[in-house]
Amino acid sequence: MTTLSARLSDADEPHGSHGAASSLIGFIGPGGDTVPLSAHAFGSKAAQLWRMNALGLNVPPAFVLSTALCGKAHGEKRLGALLDQGIAYLERVTARGFGDRRRPLLVSVRSGAEKSMPGMLETVLDVGMTAATTRGLMRLYGNPRLAADCRRRFIEGYCEVVAGLPRGPFEDLLRGILAAEDVTSDRELDPEALDRLAGLYLNLARDRFGTAISEEPMDQLRAAAEAVFRSWDAPKAQDYRRLNHLEDLSGTAVTVQAMVFGNASARSGSGVAFSRDPATGATGLYADMLFEAQGEDVVSGRRQPVGLGRLEAMLPDVATQLADGVGALEVAYRDVQDVEFTFEDGRLFFLQTRSAKRTPRAALKIAVDLVAEGVRTEAEGLALLDGIDLSQVGTTRFTGTAVVAARGVAASPGTVSGRVAFDGEAAKRLSEGGEPVILVRPDVATDDIAGMALAAGVLTRVGGRTAHAAVVARQLGRVCVVGCAALVIDLDSRSARLGPAEVREGDWLSLDGDEGTVFVGRRESVVDRPEADLATVAGWTARAR
């Protein structure tokens, strides 16, 4: 293994004084690029990281591999040298070593195309975890549970993303450990149980799938970077680009960033915040988060997040810094922002910002409000509404009364009735009859994008308003209710229970995405049109003519 001192003495200095306009690698952080990284060359994620850093927000240092390397043979030849150069930069600015036994550097390996594709491309966290660095992380933080949890997370993520192994067998092992320890969540597992789980994961990968994970950190990093590049051609990514007319994009960049640990302590966590409500357009911070969690826990939709109130109660300074930072980003970009963040032992870090995906109704209100606030001109307000059929914008509501079968979290507004489908294949089959479909899932992974595109509504047992799937549902204009704890699905019988009620595939179900309520059977709806906002936009159009 190359030592930290050797890396620092042999590495090229980053080209901070020259910028990264014509390079295959860019740097974000102390001594990094002084010229902004372009979204075309380095992806929108890296471009926004650079700008957040320039605005003075607390951003973990990172290096970025260009979109030009995606799917290119010459990229494979140069990848090793570029990774060496980038890791040397991170080691220098963090004073940690990649693979070091005392002060280990761990990194996240993230995707980033020129246009945002939420949840469609892959991420690998905690890269650099080995038996040696697990002990080093324990020494560095004095926290055996953090080290064991990161090791377990890395193995699980590597097997799923890099090796392409199915998630189910690993979830079965997790459920077995939870049952043996008599707990209900991985957050309740002690270091010994987490270490045992990591060993079970490794044995499963090796014995059942023939997959071994290298104990050499640079091997892990290269494999993770190649996997992120490969994710560009995954079916879900291709479906998303087709649905959103993004076929002309050239590929994804790869951002390698120093890890910060939302799972470090009870004063740590991760979340997603919107500067305004992306479902309705209402002003005010809109956020979901989890304590003692890494970012993927929130956006994956596999865990049930909590709202901003918990953060305000437990860490008011972090909540204030978050609100101030998100507000500053909206001012800088002059648009509603979708921000990912992590806080480690009470210290806040900003990991990503992008223009928020929003429903058509929210887009209308946001455009009208930004013009009224003097943030945008009328012409710019019209540009924000480009591609939206304003004649179809409205909010549906149910007429009459009915018994609520279950309640969840309102994630995308409106009302809808449709036939129950438990997967994308059923959604396709049922929608061919011309009737609306509601996709009902334990959680909605972004792999379900094709089924979501066919459905009129989405209902899940777990997940939050800011999970990638909820973001995509809003963008597609689908009514969405998540976190419906009363929902119990039995795929073997193709049925589900909602409290005392039972529905089978093909039965009618109704969702209210404003109230987060679920009804058995079909209901009638009426449309409320936002006439005042529509009249305002009509005035802009008349003046533009």
Rounded Cα gap, residues 184 and 200, in angstroms: 19
Say what the pLDDT of residue 221 is.
98
* The token pair that represents 10 in the structure block: 């042999």
Pairing mode of beta strands 409-412, 283-291: unpaired
SS3 233: helix
Q: How many beta carbons lie within 10 A of that of residue 127, not counting itself?
A: 25
How many whole angstroms from its chain centre is CA 238? 18
Nearest to 125 by CA among 356, 308, 342: 342
Average pLDDT of span 57-80:
86
Percent residues over pLDDT 70 in the chain: 94
Which residues fall within 8 angstroms of residue 158, CB to CB, at 6 or more apart?
124, 127, 213, 220, 223, 224
User: What pLDDT score does 49 carry?
Assistant: 97
Three-state SS for 460-482 is ECCCCCCCHHHHHHHHHCCEEEE
From residue 21, how far is each of 37, 49, 57, 156, 427 by CA, in Å?
A: 7, 16, 23, 36, 45
pLDDT at 13 over 50: no
Is residue 438 within 8 Å of 427, Cβ to Cβ? no
What is the reported pLDDT for 120?
87
Q: Does 163 score more than 70 pLDDT?
A: yes
Give residue-wise pLDDT tens across range 36-59: 999 999 999 999 999 999 999 999
Which tokens go with 469? Answer: 């799937």
Q: What is the pTM of this model?
A: 0.83
Output the CA torsion 295→299→301→306 (10° steps).
Answer: 70
Cα 465 from chain centre: 11
Position 464 confidence tier, pLDDT thresholds 50, 70, 90 = confident
Determine the average pLDDT of the residues in 180-205: 94
Neighbours of 58 (CB within 10 A): 15
State the CB neighbour count (10 A cutoff) for residue 9: 9
DSSP, res 527: E
Distance CA(63)–CA(27), nearest Å, equals 4
Q: Would the pLDDT of 310 be above 80?
A: yes
Distance, CA of 274 to CA of 283 (rounded, Å): 10
Residue linked to tokens 């996997």: 227
Check residue 305 and give its pLDDT: 85
Going by pLDDT thresholds of 50, 70 and 90, the confidence category of residue 395 is confident
Summarize pLDDT for 86-104 with one digit per residue, the tens. Answer: 999 999 999 999 999 999 9
- Percentage, residues of the chain above pLDDT 90: 77
Query: How confident is the prediction for the chain on average, in pLDDT?
Result: 91
Dist CA 434 CA 322 (whole Å): 46
